[in-house]
Chain A
């Protein structure tokens, strides 16, 4: 069946192990479940402002378009990667640059 995931241009994907270990080291975690654009974009940009270079911000979301729109919104401020749970939960990993 057609899925918005098919046409969403998300960044490189993390393996389950990578995602789990990085998640435990995250400097900030934002729960964006149930939120839709543009709120997650705004929160990601705000969150990154308070972090130092190399720090990691992770957003958890169930809104697939965010996996493309949030990394695009933060632009060069962060290196982005994504993790897909396989059952509708996604995490966006933003490492501050």
Chain B
């Protein structure tokens, strides 16, 4: 895929959340039980199948960030939103929830 989707660093996502910036859609595409076990604050849950169903009709925020377990399937999911959705900027979160849980969340709890 030429010119693949953008990626965003989990730390940058955290900074936006901490700054109270909810001007973007944050989508967790992992399985339901993984989402229930823990997710990025403010993230909504949509499986890939559900994303396929809603992507074209939904009115997306201008910016969308998608994350999965390790930041691979979220690339395809972000492409899907970019291809069919009405968002201006779509990004996949690098390293997925694994990176968030290992690198970012501990810092958040330490603040």
Tell me which residues across on chain A come within 8 A of B15, comparing CB atoms. none
Cα A38 to Cα B98 in complex, Å, equals 11
B1 touches A9 (CB 8 A): yes
Cα A47 to Cα B52 in complex, Å, equals 32
Chain B residues touching A, majority SS: helix
Q: Does B69 make an interface contact (CB < 8 A)? A: yes
* Among A2, A6, A8, A41, residue most surrounded by chain B Cβ atoms (within 10 Å): A2
Q: Chain B: interface residue count, which band?
A: 20 to 34
A69 touches B73 (CB 8 A): yes
4 more CB-based (< 8 A) A-B contacts, given A1-B56, A4-B51, A4-B52: A2-B80, A37-B72, A38-B70, A65-B77
Tell me which residues across on chain A come within 8 A of B69, comparing CB atoms. 36-38
Tell me which residues across on chain B come within 8 A of A65, comparing CB atoms. 48, 72-73, 75-77
